């Protein structure tokens, strides 16, 4: 932590800062500049943060050095992590396609989407049974029945399944059934849910919140890691901006920045980011080229009848085509595809 | 719902839209323009929404008319609601000051803040015992012990208390003890939590999410109302923008727009919006002048030692001064202050 | 400037930073922390900025201390400035109402709006003759003819006039005719225009850009001041955010922050910020209570026929009513109204 | 244009809307819904827009159909345009690399960057001589001397040059010397500058403004096209959001949306979007995969001594490496590279 003094700060002001630092069990080093004097603090950051430095006379502002997350940081774990989901592994070593229906609606719909996903090269299935919907009048998911359908899809294809949890009370049960649990955008700072996920022995996918900085996203991941579960996959899915042409603004550079700051795998969900079918494939390919560790794509055998997010779901034939194009771009950037 | 056809749409395309509408149990009315033809749909919106109109040939785009919330809308309930919190009432008829510590830290701290709140004219006390913190390394609240301290504060002052809930499992208990429960910014779209609050018989304060539109905020409130609890108070507390000079950007016009769209009371939390002490009072006074139904202010007897959000907490003397200035502006705009 | 070293930085890395500082004509002070070492640099900031510190081995990041503006900063000019516009003065000492038509359309329209402005207590008239419109198909202003109409309005009322300039080539002429020239939102970083305004002897009102931070706004003002003209009035008029309920998001706390950082007067334009008539008065009153130095309001005798921004213009009767309410709130916060 | 009536609208209200439409020379078609009645208006949109529909009794809101730009729209010009820059052509048929120094600083610097650009496969050179800088204390460009250096670079390499203009007074001269003129982000809604560019016979590159929607960007391009110059290249360069990890947020989906709405070429500037060297290459490759028509990259022989935007400039060796990788991804997505 660095305390920057105002130009008018007196020697007494500077001394007072140093004394506060010593009172908090730390040390202070003074650097006098032509204009500003700067005091560097060394010690326990948590204790320093409780001090209201900016309320001391002569203090202009305080600069925090160091990050508010540790276990998920690249600093202390420079080797990227591979996270196991069922029999497969997600991380920088391969490129993973996750696909399936946004919401599980019926056996037929889920099975058709699942087969399309596998045919396209997906090695993990997605499918949700609890849907956090903005409007209370929208379809809210099949619940337990949906979980059974997903298990049948897994049996049919041999691929692991990833399922969203929306409440602490679901976590243990979903973690038992699914191969990976997911915390969605609107719950990305539901810290009780994150803590509960940290107590399971299944990998956790954490989507970025609509208004979350990269730094806050990694702090949210730290909540999971702190409880003992560091099998975490981050998922960039668009942030909220002023632009109405797409549902959200896909932040691919943010994805790359998260990879730089953290050892965790970072994948991209272009479907929910753009919300419009014709933009899904370009953004999926862009994600591969940008170095993402995977993509997650909505597929639906009949998007027009989809009960959730139909406008962004790819048809099975479009998904297969996209799978081929992803493989071509991955080859061009020297990235091996994840194989089942 | 209105379907706008492209310029190139054929008669067959238009007929197909009309047939889809009839298949969904509705009616269609065609308006031919010099450039665009427009088809107005009449019937069950939910069924219409399941149709992927934009995937039909000749459809340019679809315009939704009507709102995704009903029970909280001003349309169907033009008279503003007064919401009872303990013995007092919050709404357009008076201006309410809610004040107290951000987080309950100790008996002494809470009691000092509480007395300052009462002295400043507050008729409701705030104080949190579960703190959703961005960093897992920050103070997380006193829990049950804090609740007991708050009850003592209530006993001492006779003022009702409002407490944040952060998980479904807390709701019933907190609702029993507190006079009003609050759902915070980071849980504003934690729909399971909202539903649970809707099952209690205590009023619910719903803070706006960092990236929530007015429309989405009212949809979140609808989750509470749908379960039978329409005693809801909305709280504007700043949205996330690009501007770093303040912690968030206080959206007073959004507050006024929410009052216009809904019959619910809407108050303002300037403390969390700006995050800097010297901006709290100007924004509290602005809220009064703008027609807000109340303000909620952080007070701390010793902000420098605050375990949460110290930089924005007012000192007791500043709070008393602000209370006087609020009353003066309220008088100037013809708004009676809420009296205990 | 402060250079923060990574945890792994070697002594050689630290020495290299110090040498770079000396090569750039400065001095370096090293503070060793338990985790990070910090090097404080003292000297010519401009020369330091040309060095790419973050490309040196062992450098984590660089922190700039001090501001990128000087002449408009409160630091070096703690007494707030009063800016003369014609016979009146704008600044912290009084509260000023500026009003008139958004665009000058005809003698009758401008004169009617002008009289309404005066009747409401305005001491400065607004009215534009060059309109920067988003669409090339919208009304672009009356130009020279409009300037003559504005002069007639000034003659009739005795009030000074403020007029927007949109190109370097207009500046000298408009500055000759008008009492204050204005640079609009879309030109707020048109630096050639700012420089040209800095060469005139008329006060300059600088609106905040849609995506401008307070810091950038003050840097833009510095362009004007640097050329010798420090008679600058800042105008907050809403920033661009994700919220569609209002045209822009009025940032009153940003207004207050700009007053804190600068000695310049800061006024508020609620009309262009909200874009909806019924929200103009609440936001104007909020601006008074928040401590703004004035407001600027669109008035139109017949908003329905307005060629520009009709939906936000107040009727003359609404303007007069607002003038009375502004005076009441100003009295409540102890602010004398500006008198003609 | 579609007028949506409130639920309470009377027949007289509906009749009044129809009469207004007829008075404005148009026709009105009424669609009665179970809840809302909708009136479709056919006629001259400009005249309709002057009517303040929402101020009529019983009108809920008005929906504008059709776009505010025409000449640059894909609707009326479905075939994508190729724009000639010197001897080369930019558009969907090939992928173009534009590279060179951000600012021209000296003969040696510009020549070194230019040669690196050519070696990397660039077919157009960039290099600016007038720099619009946020701070008035930053380097502002070499002006005329810089233009001469750029001409020497062109002579040496045979590649056309693109140069930014920042004021109307520069346009004719720069257009004479350069092969393509550019309007930058901060001038993207400087309409006088756009109009002047529209009067030249050189192609115009229009960068997206920091807070510009796709729709507004195309309206700005329309200002150029309206004056007779439709040789326009759009350049996405990041928008302003809340995320501080990158300088701006690169909106690749916005780039794809602009390609969808317009027949103009759309390229991407990853350097200015991210502002950090290690993110430039990933975003350039993502742009290729997403289907952009080109990229524009900053190169500097000695970024540490760059007078402008050094932290984002690639070294010559990095640029050459990126050129190879771009070609590989272009091949993978079936896009031929632009050849000199």
Per-residue pLDDT of chain C (340 residues; tens, 9 = 90+): 778 888 888 999 999 999 888 887 777 877 776 567 878 777 766 678 767 788 888 888 887 766 778 899 998 788 999 999 999 999 999 999 999 999 999 999 999 999 999 999 999 999 999 988 888 887 888 999 999 999 999 999 999 999 999 999 999 999 999 999 999 999 999 999 999 999 999 999 999 999 999 999 999 999 999 999 999 999 999 999 999 999 999 999 999 999 999 999 999 999 999 999 999 999 999 999 999 999 999 999 988 778 888 788 999 999 999 999 999 999 999 999 998 7
User: Mean per-residue pLDDT for D24-28?
Assistant: 78
DSSP class per residue in B135-188 = STTS----THHHHHHHHHHHHHH---EEEEE-SHHHHHHHHHH-SEEEE-GGGT
Q: Where does chain C have alpha helices with state H?
A: 11-23, 45-50, 107-119, 144-157, 168-177, 191-198, 214-226, 252-261, 270-274, 277-290, 316-332
Rounded Cα distance, B158 and D163, in Å: 71
CB contact under 8 A, D239 and A241: yes
Chain A, chain D: beta-carbon pairs less than 8 Å apart:
131
Closest CA to B188 of B225, B161, B221: B221
Rounded Cα distance, D224 and A230, in Å: 54
CB contact under 8 A, D2 and B42: no
CA distance A108 to chain B (A): 18
Is A71 a residue whose pLDDT tops 80? Answer: yes
Contact C281, C81 (CB under 8 A): no
Q: What does the mean pLDDT of chain D come to?
A: 92
Q: How confident is the model at residue B327 (pLDDT cuts 50, 70, 90)?
A: very high
The rounded Cα C26 to chain-centroid distance in angstroms is 35
Is A30 a residue whose pLDDT tops 80? Answer: no
Closest CA to C181 of C215, C152, C147: C147
Which residue does chain A place closest to D247, by CA atoms? A253
H or E element: which one contains C158?
A: none
ipTM, two decimals, is 0.89
CB contact under 8 A, A191 and B166: yes
User: Mean per-residue pLDDT for B177-196?
Assistant: 97
CA distance B179 to chain C (A): 30
Contact B43, B83 (CB under 8 A): no
User: Mean per-residue pLDDT for D32-48?
Assistant: 72
Is B222 a residue whose pLDDT tops 70? Answer: yes
CB contact under 8 A, C290 and B291: no
The rounded Cα B127 to chain-centroid distance in angstroms is 17
Closest CA to C302 of C138, C101, C161, C97: C101
Contact B168, B192 (CB under 8 A): yes
pLDDT in tens, D154-202: 999 999 999 999 999 999 999 999 999 999 999 999 999 999 999 999 9
Question: Residues with Cβ < 8 Å from D21, sequence gap 6 or more?
Answer: D27, D28, D39, D41, D43, D48
**Residue entry with tokens 């003890």:** B177
Q: How confident is the model at residue B100 (pLDDT cuts 50, 70, 90)?
A: very high
Question: Residues with Cβ < 8 Å from B17, sequence gap 6 or more?
Answer: B3, B5, B28, B39, B53, B56, B58, B59
CB contact under 8 A, C41 and A33: yes
Which residue does chain B place closest to A222, by CA atoms? B136
Question: Residues with Cβ < 8 Å from C294, sequence gap 6 or more?
Answer: C90, C95, C96, C97, C98, C233, C265, C267, C268, C338
The reported pTM is: 0.91
User: Mean per-residue pLDDT for A224-239?
Assistant: 96
CB contact under 8 A, B211 and A216: no
DSSP class per residue in A221-256 = HHHHHHTT---EEEEE--B--S--SSSSB--HHHHH
Rounded Cα distance, B201 and B91, in Å: 18
User: Mean per-residue pLDDT for D301-329?
Assistant: 91
pLDDT in tens, A235-249: 999 999 999 999 999
Closest CA to A295 of A98, A11, A92, A146: A98
Rounded Cα distance, B111 and B156, in Å: 8
Q: Which residue has the higher pLDDT, C68 or A253?
A: A253
Is A45 a residue whose pLDDT tops 80? Answer: no
CA distance B11 to chain C (A): 31
Q: How confident is the model at residue B31 (pLDDT cuts 50, 70, 90)?
A: confident
Is A78 a residue whose pLDDT tops 90? Answer: no
Candidates D51, D109, D135, D193: best to mutate against C (most CBs of C within 10 A) is D135
Around D5, how many Cα atoms within 13 Å sit in the side-chain half-sphere? 27
User: Mean per-residue pLDDT for B12-18?
Assistant: 92
Around A328, how many Cα atoms within 13 Å sit in the side-chain half-sphere? 16
| Terminal Cα-to-Cα distance of chain D (whole angstroms) | 48
Q: Which of A134, A190, A209 sits opposite B216 (nearest CB)?
A: A134
Range name among A258-272, D50-64, D240-254 with the lowest pLDDT average: D50-64
Contact D283, D274 (CB under 8 A): yes
Give B304's contacts in chain A (Cβ within 8 Å): 51-52, 55
pLDDT in tens, B85-94: 999 999 999 9
Is B32 a residue whose pLDDT tops 80? Answer: no
Q: How confident is the model at residue A35 (pLDDT cuts 50, 70, 90)?
A: low
H or E element: which one contains A98?
A: strand A96-100
Q: How confident is the model at residue A7 (pLDDT cuts 50, 70, 90)?
A: confident
CA distance C103 to chain B (A): 24
Please name each of the domains of chain B with its CATH number. 2-64 (3.30.70.1140), 83-332 (3.20.20.70)
Range name among B85-99, B311-325, D124-138, D267-281 with the lowest pLDDT average: D124-138
Q: What percent of chain A has pLDDT over 70?
A: 97
CB contact under 8 A, C311 and D137: no
Closest CA to C189 of D306, D218, D131, D147: D131
pLDDT for the residue numbered B66? 67
Is D58 a residue whose pLDDT tops 70? Answer: yes
User: Mean per-residue pLDDT for D123-143?
Assistant: 89
Rounded Cα distance, D248 and D246, in Å: 5
pLDDT for the residue numbered C65? 65
Give A33's contacts in chain C (Cβ within 8 Å): 29, 40-42, 65
- What are the structure tokens assigned to B146, written together? 């804090």
Give the alpha-carbon dihedral of A274, A275, A278, A281, to 10 degrees. Answer: 60
Strand-pairing partners, residue D103, are D128
pLDDT for the residue numbered A29? 75
Strand-pairing partners, residue A299, are A314
Is D46 a residue whose pLDDT tops 70? Answer: no
Give B169's contacts in chain A (Cβ within 8 Å): 168-169, 192
Interface residues of chain B, partner chain D, Cβ below 8 Å: 2, 4, 7, 29, 31-36, 38, 40-43, 60, 63, 65-66, 75, 240-242, 244
| CB atoms near residue C173 (< 10 Å) | 12
Strand-pairing partners, residue A235, are A207, A267
Strand-pairing partners, residue D38, are D4, D31
Give D214's contacts in chain C (Cβ within 8 Å): none
Question: Residues with Cβ < 8 Å from B264, sequence gap 6 or more?
Answer: B72, B80, B81, B83, B221, B232, B233, B234, B258
**Residue entry with tokens 């609808």:** B222
pLDDT for the residue numbered A306? 81
Candidates A218, A247, A289, A322: best to mutate against D (most CBs of D within 10 A) is A289
Question: Residues with Cβ < 8 Å from C196, sequence gap 6 or more?
Answer: C168, C171, C172
**Residue entry with tokens 């909620």:** B296
Q: How confident is the model at residue D66 (pLDDT cuts 50, 70, 90)?
A: low
| Terminal Cα-to-Cα distance of chain A (whole angstroms) | 48
Range name among B76-85, C165-174, D132-141 with the lowest pLDDT average: D132-141
Candidates D68, D95, D253: best to mutate against A (most CBs of A within 10 A) is D253
pLDDT for the residue numbered C233? 98
Rounded Cα distance, B253 and B238, in Å: 11
CB contact under 8 A, D310 and C52: yes
Give B237's contacts in chain A (Cβ within 8 Å): none
**SS3 assignment for D41-77:** EECCHHHHHHCCHHHCCCEEEEECCCCCCCCCECCCC
pLDDT for the residue numbered A32? 72
CA distance C210 to chain B (A): 11
DSSP class per residue in D84-115 = EETTEEESTTSBEEEEE-SB---HHHHHHHHH
Range name among A235-249, D66-80, D199-213, D326-340 with the lowest pLDDT average: D66-80
Around C232, how many Cα atoms within 13 Å sit in the side-chain half-sphere? 32
């Amino acid at each position: 932590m660095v305390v920057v003094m105002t130009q008018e700060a007196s020697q007494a002001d500077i001394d007072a800062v140093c004394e506060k630092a010593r009172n908090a069990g730390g040390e202070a080093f003074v650097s006098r500049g032509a204009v500003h004097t700067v005091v560097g603090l060394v010690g326990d950051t948590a204790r320093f943060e409780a001090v209201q430095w900016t309320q001391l006379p002569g203090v202009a502002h305080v600069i925090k050095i160091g990050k508010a997350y540790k276990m998920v940081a690249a600093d202390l774990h420079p080797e990227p992590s591979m996270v196991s989901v069922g029999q497969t592994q997600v991380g920088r070593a391969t490129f993973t396609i996750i696909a399936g229906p946004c919401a599980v609606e019926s056996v037929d719909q889920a099975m058709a989407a699942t087969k399309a996903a596998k045919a396209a090269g997906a090695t993990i299935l997605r499918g949700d049974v609890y849907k956090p919907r903005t409007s209370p009048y929208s379809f809210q998911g099949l619940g337990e029945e949906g979980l059974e359908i997903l298990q049948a899809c897994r049996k049919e294809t041999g691929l692991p399944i990833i399922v969203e949890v929306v409440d602490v009370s679901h976590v243990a049960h979903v973690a038992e059934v699914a191969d990976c649990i997911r915390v969605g955008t609107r719950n990305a700072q539901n810290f009780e849910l994150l803590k509960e996920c940290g107590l399971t022995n299944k990998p956790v996918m954490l989507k970025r919140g609509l208004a979350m900085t990269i730094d806050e996203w990694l702090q949210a991941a730290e909540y999971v890691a702190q409880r003992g579960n560091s099998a975490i996959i981050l998922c960039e899915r668009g942030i909220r901006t002023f632009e109405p042409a797409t549902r959200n603004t896909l932040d691919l550079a943010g994805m790359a920045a998260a990879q730089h700051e953290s050892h965790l795998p970072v994948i991209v969900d272009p479907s929910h980011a753009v919300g419009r079918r014709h933009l899904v494939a370009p953004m999926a390919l862009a994600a591969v080229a940008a170095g993402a560790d995977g993509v997650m794509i909505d597929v639906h055998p009949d998007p027009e009848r989809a009960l959730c997010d139909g406008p962004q779901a790819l048809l099975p034939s479009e998904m297969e085509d996209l799978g081929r194009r992803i493989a071509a771009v991955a080859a061009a950037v020297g990235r091996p595809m994840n194989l089942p």
